[in-house]
């Protein structure tokens, strides 16, 4: 039976992780997968998370199951963190999922269950796994233009022109902040225009919020989500705690739905629990419990927010340093956008051959579309990367 399986296309981010791991060069630089690294190249456990973990180890008396949709305390703190007071809670349903990816997967299954003919619109480009999960679940998909490769900025006019094709009941997948892979983001007035368009079309936003706190700030990064949630009758949010709590391997995420009324919200809550049961039964709890503890304890929360803010500011500093170094190396402002972009990534606008040369000749790893993980840099590697990019470009 198993020999009938077809070889699977490799995920390019996962492939890059393996190539980096297997590269014996000691001076190799990893700007591939979206994992935060501090100045010494480590992905630390955040202080508040470690403290919560110690407290949990002492206090936890059982490992029996939580609720099928996960701990309601986790739903409550995450809903507060993401939505503030934008929506009454009787319109909100939620389920803990296996990471933000699990939430995206569930959202697409929910779409297929509720509206099998719905079309999902994704930005071009988007996180590659969005495309493969959509394909795997078997939902129809269309692209909307998003990024202008010449200016390395959002092409908002093209995006809006494409979204004019959206039909009532279609779903539009949006990156709530810190667009992956480009790092180019909408302004709040642009988000307002998107909200108005979706409302006029009767379309449903699915917001992927994987980097809250990594862009303009914890509250600022949920502003677009809150704007859409306050205005539209229906919305889905797939949120991840991997990055902003640094708990990647704990696989902690949540799918939140907002329904037009309480009765629909109850249906959504039932469907979310059902999806958990069908896919993996009860969700993992350890990471979700740590997040709940950190967000519910004022001292832990303050410390977490301070550390997250330091992480965010360190990435902005690296952005500015790299933009400056590239300006000096190339004698042009071509890479000035890096300082304007926000989040973990920027797409440099290099072709695949240049990315490959960076890897082969300079042991610098980024994704083939020239997406760079800014957090993979440090003060010592910024000049190395800038010089290598200039060299590859023949400057
Ligand atoms: C990324 O885009 O690098 C992250 O979201 C990690 C992943 O799983 O791809």
pLDDT of 238 above 80 = yes
CATH of the domain at 113: 3.40.640.10
Predicted local distance difference test score (pLDDT) of residue 62: 96
Predicted local distance difference test score (pLDDT) of residue 269: 98
pLDDT tens-digit series, residues 249-260? 999 999 999 999
* Judgement on whether residues 279 and 388 belong to the same structural domain of the protein: no
- Looking at 239, 269, 296, the residue that finishes a domain is 296
Residue 208 annotated to the active site: yes
Is 3 within a domain?
A: no
> Distances in Å between the alpha carbon of 24 and those of 143, 364, 380, 395?
39, 13, 20, 28
> Distances in Å between the alpha carbon of 162 and those of 182, 194, 199?
18, 11, 15
* Judgement on whether residues 173 and 225 belong to the same structural domain of the protein: yes
27 — pLDDT class (breaks 50, 70, 90): very high
Predicted local distance difference test score (pLDDT) of residue 395: 74
95, 173, 198, 163: CA torsion to nearest 10? -170
Is 128 within a domain?
A: yes
pLDDT tens-digit series, residues 44-97? 999 999 999 999 999 999 999 999 999 999 999 999 999 999 999 999 999 999
Atom of ligand 1 nearest to the CA of 33: 3
pLDDT tens-digit series, residues 90-130? 999 999 999 999 999 999 999 999 999 999 999 999 999 99
Which residue lies with its CA nearest to atom 6 of ligand 1? Answer: 34
pLDDT of 32 above 90 = yes
- Residue 210: closest CA among 249, 177, 173, 171: 177
Which domain covers residue 219, as residue numbers?
65-296
307 — pLDDT class (breaks 50, 70, 90): very high
| CA 14 / ligand 1 centre spacing (Å) | 8
Say if CB 94 and CB 255 are below 8 A apart: yes
| Backbone phi, psi, residue 151, to 5° | -90, -10
CATH of the domain at 364: 3.90.1150.10
Q: Which candidate in 30, 155, 170, 208 is catalytic?
A: 208
Is 59 within a domain?
A: no
pLDDT tens-digit series, residues 157-200? 999 999 999 999 999 999 999 999 999 999 999 999 999 999 99
Predicted local distance difference test score (pLDDT) of residue 273: 98
For the chain, give the mean pLDDT: 97
Q: How do strand 345-347 and strand 252-258 relate by DSSP bridges?
A: unpaired
Which residue lies with its CA nearest to atom 4 of ligand 1? Answer: 34
* Judgement on whether residues 32 and 151 belong to the same structural domain of the protein: no
Q: What percent of the chain has pLDDT over 70?
A: 100
Predicted local distance difference test score (pLDDT) of residue 9: 87
Overall domain count for the chain: 2
Predicted local distance difference test score (pLDDT) of residue 386: 97
Instruction: Report residue 133 as tokens.
Output: 């999960």
| CA 13 / ligand 1 centre spacing (Å) | 7
81 alpha-carbon distance from chain centroid? 16
Predicted local distance difference test score (pLDDT) of residue 82: 98
Say if CB 350 and CB 368 are below 8 A apart: no
14 — pLDDT class (breaks 50, 70, 90): very high
Of 77 and 41, more confident = 77
Verify cis geometry, omega within 30 degrees of 0, for the bond prior to 123.
no
- Looking at 279, 296, 313, the residue that finishes a domain is 296
Q: What percent of the chain has pLDDT over 90?
A: 98
Q: What is the largest CA-CA distance in the chain?
A: 63
Q: Which candidate in 30, 243, 304, 325 is catalytic?
A: 243
* Judgement on whether residues 306 and 235 belong to the same structural domain of the protein: no
Q: What is the pTM of this model?
A: 0.96
Protein residues with CB under 6 Å of any ligand 1 atom: 13, 33-34, 127, 129, 180
């Amino acid at each position: 039976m198993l020999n009938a399986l077809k070889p699977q296309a490799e995920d390019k981010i996962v492939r890059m992780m393996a190539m980096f791991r297997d590269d014996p060069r000691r001076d190799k630089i990893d700007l591939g997968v979206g994992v935060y690294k501090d100045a010494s190249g480590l992905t630390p456990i955040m202080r508040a998370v470690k403290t919560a973990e110690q407290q949990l180890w002492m206090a936890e008396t059982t490992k029996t199951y939580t609720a099928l949709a996960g701990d309601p305390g986790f739903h409550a703190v995450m809903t507060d963190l993401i939505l503030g007071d934008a929506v009454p809670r009787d319109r909100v349903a939620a389920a803990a999922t296996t990471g933000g990816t699990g939430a995206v997967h569930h959202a697409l299954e929910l779409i297929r269950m509720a509206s099998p003919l719905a079309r999902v619109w994704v930005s071009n480009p988007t996180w590659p796994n969005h495309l493969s999960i959509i394909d795997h679940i078997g939902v129809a998909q269309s692209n909307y233009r998003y990024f202008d490769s010449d200016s390395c900025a959002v092409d908002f006019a093209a995006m809006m022109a494409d979204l004019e094709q959206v039909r009532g009941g279609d779903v539009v997948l949006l990156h709530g902040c810190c667009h992956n892979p480009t790092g180019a983001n909408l302004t709040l007035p642009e988000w307002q225009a998107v909200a108005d368009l979706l409302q006029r079309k009767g379309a449903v936003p699915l917001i992927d919020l994987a980097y809250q706190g990594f862009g303009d700030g914890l509250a600022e990064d949920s502003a677009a989500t809150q704007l859409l949630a306050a205005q539209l009758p229906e919305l889905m949010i797939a949120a991840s705690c991997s990055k902003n709590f640094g708990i990647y391997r704990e696989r902690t995420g949540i799918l939140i739905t907002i329904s037009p009324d309480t009765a629909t919200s109850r249906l959504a809550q039932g469907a979310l629990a059902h999806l958990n049961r069908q896919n993996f039964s009860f969700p993992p709890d350890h990471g979700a419990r740590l997040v709940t503890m950190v967000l519910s304890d004022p001292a832990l929360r303050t410390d977490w927010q301070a550390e997250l803010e330091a992480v965010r500011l360190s990435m902005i500093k690296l952005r500015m340093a790299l933009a400056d170094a590239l300006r000096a190396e190339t004698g042009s402002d071509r890479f000035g956008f890096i300082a304007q972009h926000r989040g973990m990534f920027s797409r440099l606008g290099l072709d695949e051959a240049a990315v490959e040369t960076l890897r082969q000749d300079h042991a610098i790893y980024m994704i083939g579309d020239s997406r760079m993980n800014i957090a993979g840099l440090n003060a010592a590697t910024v000049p190395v990367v800038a010089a290598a990019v200039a060299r590859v470009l023949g400057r």
